[in-house]
């Protein structure tokens, strides 16, 4: 919407500002061309009214050519010339029209010096209008930016809450608390240990979702905190093997990337198997600057799909997509009894990822 | 029930610690005797069928069979207390006449209250019907993905895609899958209600077929038809069944 035409109060203010301008023009007409005050006023007032609206059109060109573009002033100057020439044309027409009446007879013959005057002031006024529109546009842009920033903050908070809700499965917490409750009488030390590990996991989860990237080591810490709790719950039923290339620790990943995948592997794997199951994780780096992560587990192929199957996985896939786009791959392979997720992420170091954060 | 007889209890939960806390809380109750503990659904069905306990503590999310499938197979004769971390199954527990529904973690008092209810319930016949149990064994609003059948102490799991047809036999349905037949205590109407009507068609008062197994329809005598399946099985088709079949087979 036009910043002046679209707002009634601004339009009134803008037209009021043209009052002094037309007064100056009347004075210049009188002193330079020798017109009488009456004739000068009759000529200047309609001309200023017309030109006030012509100058408003500067907004369209201002909007399309940002100020930092060096060529933009040339374009505006050309527009100013065109506008002034048009204005002279209007003035000539007006003078001829007025001179047909008895009061202003012979006006068109007295114009002489009025045309160069109109041309000069036309260019000047148009350029002033351009400047005014740039000020208004930058005001508007600043306002928009502030609004966007607030919106982004609300969205981030939203997604953090959502992440918490989806990442930390409430049933996981209830089952943990039940295990702790069972341990308090038989094995208080383990009960306390489990409380501490659960707290560690929750605390780490809370802080992480605000960040765009975290060092892989931090993500592994979070995953281990989760794993250590599940290890107490499932005991020997849960076997976990990990093989991480120490080189990979230099790189950063989006937070809460591995833990949901591990949770997935346990919930739909180990938890469905009578004699327990295994989860294997392998993290490698390659010369092609990719970080390869593979997580596989076994599961009971006959078991019905548990509720919520695939939500954690979908969430991770979405985040990988929004973070890396086509620079990352994520392949899911499910054969009866065996499930595997293979990811290839661009290997980013902390500094490199920061500007995108 | 004799006054001096102990209440025989089986605890079913796949987590060691979860069984442990129930065991511990039952300790002060001299009238309770724990006769078995099971870590998965198969074991639970076997143990309960063999030992015929009075009361079962039953978890819901377990390997092999979930708590409701276990209950469907062991029938309504045993009193059941569900013990679970999930509150969303409480309504289904109510529908199968469970004694109680205890949420993990719980206080000793909560378990006491459940035991009290169980004692009052014992001896009174409030068993749920086979159909109620079968209906509760699947998630509300969803069609069954598999059918569980008990054969003695053995459990068979038939994925619905491998069910060829079913025939009513008195209080039972005979389920045909890959050349074998399994007998299950359930009415054919209840079975029909649990299956996707786009895949399974009731062709007769006593018959239900998997649409993918249908080879052709043949007239049989005057006014009646039979449906012939891929494996050569011939099943009678009623007039209403014929209309339904034709609708799905597109007037073949």
Question: pLDDT tens digit string along A178-207?
Answer: 999 999 999 999 999 999 999 998 888 877
Closest CB to A274 among B40, B104, B145: B40
Cis peptide before B105 (omega within 30 of 0): yes
Residues of A in Cβ contact (< 8 Å) with B63:
271-274, 300, 303
- Contact A79/A65 with Cβ under 8 angstroms? no
Residue A161 lies in a domain: no
Same domain, A201 and A341: yes
Number of domains forming the structure of chain A: 2
Nearest to B69 by CA among B146, B9, B169: B146
- Alpha-carbon gap, residue B250 to B252, rounded angstroms: 6
Q: State whether B21 and A304 contact (CB < 8 Å).
A: no
Q: How many CB pairs under 8 A join A and B?
A: 68
- The pair of structure tokens assigned to A148 is 């966007």
- Which of B230, B223, B218 minimizes the C-alpha distance to B165? B230
Same structural domain, A118 and A21: yes
A10 contacts: CB under 8 Å, gap ≥ 6: A3, A4
Give the one of B14, B17, B43 whose C-beta lies nearest to A183's C-beta. Answer: B17
The model's pTM is 0.68
Spans of chain B, pLDDT less than 50: 1-2, 252
Q: Domain limits at A172? A: 168-356
Q: What is the mean pLDDT of chain A?
A: 85
**pLDDT score of A357 more than 50:** no
Q: Is residue A157 predicted with pLDDT exceeding 80?
A: no
Same-domain check for residues A98 and A202 = no
pLDDT at A263 exceeding the cut of 60: yes
Closest CA to B41 of B194, B158, B155, B129: B155
Res. A162 pLDDT band, cuts 50 70 90 = low
Residue A284 has pLDDT above 80, yes or no: yes
> Is residue A309 within 8 angstroms of chain B, CB to CB?
no
The closest alpha carbon to A134, from A122, A142, A145, A146, belongs to A142
Which is higher by pLDDT, B104 or A164? B104
Q: Indicate yes or no: CB of B61 within 8 angstroms of CB of A306.
A: yes
Query: What's the pLDDT at B252?
Result: 46
With contacts defined as CB-CB under 8 Å, which chain B residues touch A277? Answer: none
3-state secondary structure of B128: coil
Shortest distance between the Cα of A268 and any Cα of chain B, in A, equals 10
A69 has pLDDT over 70? no
CB B211 within 8 A of CB B200: yes
pLDDT reported for residue B104 = 94
Interface test with B, best of A169, A238, A274 (most B CBs within 10 A): A274
Tell whether B140 lies on the interface with A, counting CB pairs under 8 A. Answer: no
Indicate the pLDDT class of residue A356, thresholds 50, 70 and 90: very low
Both A124 and A230 in one domain: the answer is: no
pLDDT of residue A147: 84
- pLDDT tens profile A10-59: 889 988 989 998 899 888 888 888 788 888 888 888 888 888 888 888 88
Range with the lowest mean pLDDT among A58-72, A79-93, A292-306, B3-17?
A58-72
Q: Which of A336, A321, A230, A331 is nearest to A276 (CA)?
A: A230
Mutate to test the interface with B, among A168, A173, A177, A179 (most CBs of B within 10 A): A179
Q: What is the pLDDT of residue A137?
A: 86
Report the residue of chain B nearest A184, measured CA to CA.
B21
Subunit contact B17:A182, Cβ cutoff 8 A: yes
Task: Check which CATH number belongs to the domain holding A217 and give it.
Answer: 3.30.565.10
For the sheet with B224-229, list strands across it: B214-220, B224-229, B234-237
Q: Is residue A160 part of a domain?
A: no
Identify the structural domains of chain B with CATH numbers, from first to last. Answer: 7-134 (3.40.50.2300), 143-249 (2.40.50.1020)
Range from A45-49, A244-248, A308-312 carrying the lowest mean pLDDT: A308-312
Place of tokens 């529908």: B95
Closest CA relative to residue A94, chosen from A79, A114, A124: A114
**Residue A204 within any structural domain of the chain:** yes
Test B18 with A178 for CB contact under 8 angstroms: yes
Total residue length of chain B: 252
Domain membership flag for residue A297: yes
Token pair belonging to A73 = 């002033």
Instruction: Measure the CA–CA gap between B21 and B15, rounded to whole angstroms.
Output: 10
Residues 189-248 of A with CB under 8 A from B: 232-235
Q: Phi and psi (nearest 5°) for A242?
A: -135, 140
Kindly state the average pLDDT of the residues A326-338.
90
Q: A181 or A71: which carries more pLDDT confidence? A: A181
pLDDT at A304 over 80: no
> Cα A31 vs. chain centroid, distance in angstroms?
57
Q: Å from B125 to nearest chain A CA?
A: 32
Residues of A in contact with B64 (CB under 8 A): 272, 274, 300, 302-303
Chain A contact for B24 (CB, 8 A cutoff): yes
Instruction: Quote the pLDDT of residue B142.
Output: 85
Q: Check whether residue A49 and residue A177 sit in a common domain.
A: no
* A130 and A84 part of one domain: yes
Which tops the pLDDT comparison, B59 or A72?
Answer: B59
3-class secondary-structure state, position A250: helix
In a domain, residue A210? The reply is yes
């Amino acid at each position: 919407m036009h910043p002046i035409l679209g707002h009634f109060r601004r339009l009134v203010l803008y037209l009021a500002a043209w009052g002094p301008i037309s007064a100056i023009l009347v004075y210049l007409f009188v002193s330079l061309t020798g017109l009488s005050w009456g004739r000068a006023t009759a000529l200047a007032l309609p001309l200023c009214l017309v030109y006030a609206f012509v100058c408003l059109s500067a907004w369209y060109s201002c909007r399309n050519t940002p100020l930092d573009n060096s060529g933009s002033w040339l374009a505006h100057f050309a527009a100013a010339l065109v506008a002034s020439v048009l204005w002279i044309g209007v003035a000539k027409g007006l003078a001829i029209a007025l001179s047909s009446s008895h009061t202003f007879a012979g006006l068109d013959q007295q114009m002489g010096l009025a045309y160069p005057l109109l041309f000069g002031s036309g260019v000047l006024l148009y350029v002033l209008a351009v400047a005014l529109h740039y000020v208004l546009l930058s005001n508007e842009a600043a306002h928009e930016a502030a609004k966007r920033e607030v919106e982004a903050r609300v969205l981030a908070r939203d997604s953090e809450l959502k992440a918490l809700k989806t990442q930390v499965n409430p049933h996981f917490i209830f089952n943990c608390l039940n295990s702790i409750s069972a341990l308090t009488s038989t094995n208080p030390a383990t009960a306390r240990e489990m409380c501490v590990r659960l707290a560690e996991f929750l605390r780490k989860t809370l802080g992480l979702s605000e960040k765009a990237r975290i060092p892989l080591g931090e993500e592994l810490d979070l995953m281990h905190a989760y794993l250590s709790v599940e290890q107490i719950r499932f005991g020997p039923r849960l076997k976990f093997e990990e093989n991480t290339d120490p080189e990979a620790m230099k790189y950063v990943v989006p937070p809460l990337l591995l833990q949901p995948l591990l949770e997935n592997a346990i919930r739909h794997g180990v938890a469905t198997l009578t004699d327990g199951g295994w989860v294997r994780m392998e993290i490698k780096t390659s010369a092609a600057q990719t970080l390869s992560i593979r997580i596989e587990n076994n599961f009971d192929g006959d078991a019905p799909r548990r509720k919520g199957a695939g939500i954690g996985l979908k969430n991770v896939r979405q985040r990988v997509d929004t973070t890396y786009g086509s620079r990352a791959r994520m392949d899911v392979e499910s054969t009866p009894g065996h499930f595997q997720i293979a990811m290839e992420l661009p290997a980013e170091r902390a500094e490199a990822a920061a500007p995108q954060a | 029930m004799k006054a001096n007889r102990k209440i025989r209890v089986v605890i079913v939960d796949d987590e060691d610690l979860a069984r442990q806390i129930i065991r511990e809380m039952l300790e002060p109750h001299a009238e309770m005797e724990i006769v078995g503990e099971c870590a998965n659904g198969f074991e639970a069905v076997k143990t309960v069928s063999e030992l015929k306990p009075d009361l079962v503590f039953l978890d819901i999310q377990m390997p092999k069979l979930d708590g409701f499938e276990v209950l469907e197979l062991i029938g309504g004769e045993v009193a059941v207390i569900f013990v679970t971390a999930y509150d969303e199954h409480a309504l289904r527990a109510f529908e199968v006449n469970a004694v109680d529904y205890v949420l993990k973690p719980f206080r000793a008092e909560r378990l006491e209250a459940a035991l009290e209810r169980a004692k009052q319930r014992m001896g009174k016949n409030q068993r749920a019907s086979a159909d109620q149990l079968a209906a509760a064994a699947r998630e509300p609003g969803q069609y069954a993905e598999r059918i569980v059948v008990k054969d003695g102490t053995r459990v068979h799991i038939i994925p619905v895609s491998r069910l060829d047809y079913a025939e009513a036999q008195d209080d039972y349905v005979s389920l045909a899958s890959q050349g074998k037949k399994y007998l299950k205590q359930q009415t054919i109407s209840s079975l029909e209600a649990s299956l996707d009507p786009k895949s399974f068609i009731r062709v007769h008062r006593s018959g239900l077929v998997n649409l993918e197994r249908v080879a052709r329809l043949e007239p049989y005598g005057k006014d009646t038809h039979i449906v012939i399946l891929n494996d050569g099985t011939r099943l009678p088709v009623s007039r209403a069944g014929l209309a339904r079949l034709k609708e799905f087979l597109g007037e073949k």
